[in-house]
């Protein structure tokens, strides 16, 4: 599949570990359906990345397919976008080794995510956790991606990817497209309901801190009722009041209402009414996604077909890149008959 001269190529990947959250939906998935009409989109379920933390094999397999189903349930069209599982394309690990030999130890030592994950998983600080950013760079560079949708917490990885690509291009002649971070202007940064100074996370051990995309309505409303706020009991979009500011941001993202409209709507009302309204709006938005997800996961043959087709398309690009890289670094490749 040749890269379109009219469309830039976007690459994005998500790990199948944990459960995707409302933050993943509002910050990424909700917007990705729009990207497929503007760009050539390649979406990957990053199952190789997932095993830096010990996984239950049967659960990982199920989560991988569930992640694909959630992408589709959010409106991403497999006729417009390419889907595949990272482990199905061996060129990811092949390129990762070559790039690892062109990445400095000091660069990896400075990665904040390695430090964070090392603290969370102190009993399993493995080499894969340390070299994780190199594999991430390989994921992106393998497909000659122009743009990578990222949140602020991933900017460091994109900068490293750009550094690796530039270093390789300077050493071996232009080989990789040097990607740029693509920040969606309309994407929302959704914070934890329990600790609003931290981003909502699918790996948070406190289940009440995150709204998961497959949570049922009663659970969603219960979690919002327990969300951390303050003693002022005035609904306002005040960044200094992290808890209520986060809820206003969520409600705005779900309904399309401005902060001013929300403040007027709940003027004279307490947090109780507002939290229930946020929960109701969230449940209403996620309900059609959940319904479509349930339908898709009942048709494994359909999902397998999408993966086979996506793997074939992605492999064409990946093989072309790895052959170019192997030739440039000096690996002998026999002439094809």
- Candidate list 30, 63, 117, 223, residue with the active-site label: 117
**Would you call 62 a catalytic residue per the annotation?**
no
Distance, CA of 309 to CA of 330 (rounded, Å): 32
Q: 3-state DSSP call for residue 119? A: helix
Residue whose entry in the numeric block shows the structure tokens 């232009």: 174
Altogether, the residues listed in the chain come to a count of: 337
Say how far apart CA 25 and CA 288 lie, in whole Å.
13
Q: Are 88 and 311 in contact (CB under 8 A)?
A: yes
> Strand pairing of 180-182 and 147-149?
parallel
Structure-token pair, residue 68: 């694909």
Rounded to 10 degrees, what is the CA torsion of 141, 145, 147, 152?
-30
For residue 326, the surrounding DSSP H or E stretch is helix 300-329
C-beta contacts of 290-299 below 8 A and 24+ residues apart: 290/73, 290/213, 290/214, 292/72, 292/73, 293/66, 293/69, 293/70, 293/73, 293/213, 293/214, 296/69, 296/72, 296/73, 297/65, 297/66, 297/69
Given 62, 63, 120, 202, which residue is catalytic?
202
Q: How many other C-beta atoms can be found within 10 angstroms of the C-beta atom of residue 244?
A: 23
Catalytic-residue membership of 269:
no
Do residues 135 and 96 make contact, with C-beta atoms less than 8 angstroms apart?
A: yes
Whether 115 is a known active-site residue: answer no
Catalytic residue among 30, 63, 199, 223: 199
Active site residues: 117, 199, 202
């Amino acid at each position: 599949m040749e890269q379109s001269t009219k469309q830039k190529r976007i690459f994005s990947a998500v790990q199948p570990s944990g459960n995707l959250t409302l933050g993943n939906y509002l910050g990424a998935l909700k917007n990705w359906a729009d990207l497929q009409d503007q760009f050539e989109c390649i979406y990957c379920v990053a199952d190789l990345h997932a095993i830096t933390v010990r996984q239950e094999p049967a659960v990982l397999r199920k989560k991988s397919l569930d992640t694909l189903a959630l992408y589709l349930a959010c409106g991403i069209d497999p006729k417009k976008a390419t889907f595949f599982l990272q482990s199905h394309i061996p060129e990811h690990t092949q390129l990762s080794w070559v790039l690892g030999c062109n990445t400095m130890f000091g660069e990896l030592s400075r990665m904040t995510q390695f430090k964070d994950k090392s603290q969370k998983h102190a009993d399993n600080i493995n080499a894969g956790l340390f070299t994780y950013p190199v594999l991430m760079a390989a994921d992106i560079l393998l497909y000659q991606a122009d743009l990578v949708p990222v949140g602020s917490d991933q900017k460091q990885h994109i900068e490293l990817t750009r550094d690796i690509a530039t270093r390789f291009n300077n050493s071996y002649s232009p080989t990789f497209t040097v990607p740029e971070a693509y920040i969606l202007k309309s994407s929302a940064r959704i914070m934890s309901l329990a600790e609003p100074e931290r981003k909502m996370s699918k790996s948070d051990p406190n289940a009440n801190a995150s709204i998961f995309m497959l949570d049922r309505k009663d659970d969603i409303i219960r979690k919002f009722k327990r969300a951390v706020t303050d003693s002022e009991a005035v609904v306002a979009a005040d960044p200094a009041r992290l808890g209520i500011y986060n809820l206003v941001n969520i409600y705005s993202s779900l309904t399309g209402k401005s902060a001013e409209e929300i403040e007027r709507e709940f003027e004279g009302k307490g947090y109780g009414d507002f939290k229930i309204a946020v929960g109701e709006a969230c449940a209403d938005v996620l309900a059609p996604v959940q319904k479509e997800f349930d339908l898709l996961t009942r048709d494994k043959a359909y999902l397998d077909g999408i993966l086979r087709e996506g793997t074939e398309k992605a492999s064409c690009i990946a093989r072309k890149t790895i052959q170019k890289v192997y030739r440039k670094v000096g690996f002998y490749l026999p002439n094809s008959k």
